[in-house]
A = this chain, B = another copy of it.
C-alpha cells in the first residue's frame, strides 16, 4: 500500500460513531483507493440519493413498552446472528489492509454476523472460512458456465452457509473516479479465485482496469433460467442481490430464493437507479414472508438499520464502512465499527420502544422531504 505510512493509521478509539470511519479511512488510504471505495457511477446521482433517501425516513417511536431490555439478535438465512446485519460482498479487501478478508472474517466472527466473501476476494474462500464464523459466498457468474458451477461447489465444499447471486452487474457501472484515476490493482493484490489474467494485468490507459476485467470475465446476459438452474444445483440458502422492482422480487421468491437484497449496488451500477429505501416496502408487499428482504446501499449506522426494519426489511448489508473500518488498522478498526454498530442499533431500538428487531418492523415511518429535513 504505497502512500500510506504507519503514522497515518488512525486510532480506533477516535471513532465515536460508525459515520466517523469514512473520514479516518480517507486519511489512511491512497487517494485512488479511497476513490475506488467511496465512488459511485456516472454523476453519482444514486450515490447521493441513497443517503438522502435514508435521511428522509423518520420513525415514530413508541413508549412504555419495557424496551430497556433490548436484544439485537435475529436470524438470517435460518441461522442465528447477533445483529440483523451481514457484511456486504466487496472486492479485494487487501486493497485497504494487508490482512484483507482474513481480518474481516475475524471481526465478523467476533461480532457474530455473517460475512459475504466476494467472487473477487483477494484471499481464497477456504482460508476465509477457516477463520470461523458464518460465511456467505457471493457469485459473479463467469462466462465459462462450467467454471460457474465449479465456483459454487467450491464454496459449498469450503463450508459457506449461504450463496449470494449478484444480478445487477452485467458489467461494471462506469465509475468516473476510477476512469480518471486509471485505477488498477496494485502489485500483490489480485483475485484469489482466478488463476488466469487478473485485473492488474489488463490495466490500460483511460479506463478502469477492474471494469475491463469484469467485462471480460463475467457473463453479461444472465436470465431467470440461469437463476432457476442455480437454485436446482446449489444446496445452500440462496440470496438474490440487486433487485429493485417488486415484480423481480416476486419472481425470485417464486424460484426459491431465500432472501432478496434490495439494492442499487451502493450507487455503483445504474446511476439514476431508484434508492432501495424507496422500494423496500413494495418489495416486501410483493414477497410477503415467502423470503427474507435485506436492504443494502447507504447504511452508515444503527439508525439506518432501524429505518430499514421499520420500512419492512429483515436486515441490511453493510458495505463501504467495512472497508473503511479495515483501513483503520485492520481487524481492530473493523471490530470498533461493528461494536459501534451494535451499540447504535441497541440504542435506536430501545429509544424507539422496541425490544427486538422484529418489533421494529411494526413501527410507522414518516417520509420527510427528500433531503431528509436537513
- Seen from chain A, the residues whose Cβ lies within 8 Å of a Cβ on chain B are 13, 16-17, 19, 42-43, 45-46, 48-49, 52-53, 55, 57-69, 167-168, 170-171, 173-174, 176, 179-180, 206, 219-224, 226-227, 242-245, 247-248, 264, 269-275, 278-279, 301, 303, 306-307, 343-344, 347-348, 350-352, 364, 366, 368-374
Contact = CB atoms under 8 A, between A and B. Distances in A.
A1 B373 CA distance: 35
Contacts of A61: 168, 244-245, 264, 269-270, 273
Contacts of A301: 42-43
B49 A347 contact: no
Contacts of A170: 67-68, 350-351
A334 B226 CA distance: 41
B49 A58 contact: yes
Given A17-B174, A42-B303, A274 B60 contact: yes
Contacts of A271: 303, 348
Given A60-B245, A64-B222, A303 B348 contact: no
Contacts of A16: 176, 179-180, 206
Contacts of A374: 45, 48-49, 52
A99 to B, nearest CB: 25
* Copies of this chain: 4
Contacts of A42: 17, 301, 303, 344
Nearest to A51: B373
Q: Which among A16, A223, A264, A368 has the highest number of chain B CB atoms within 10 Å?
A: A368
B48 A274 contact: no
A370 B366 CA distance: 12
Contacts of A63: 167-168, 222, 242-243, 245, 248
Nearest to A343: B174
A43 B176 CA distance: 29
A145 to B, nearest CB: 14
A312 B42 CA distance: 23
A66 B222 contact: yes
B368 A49 contact: yes
Given A63-B242, A174-B347, A58 B221 contact: no
Nearest to A167: B63
Contact of A270 (B46, B227, B352, B366): B352
Given A58-B273, A61-B264, A272-B303, 5 more contacts: A45-B55, A45-B374, A52-B369, A62-B245, A63-B222
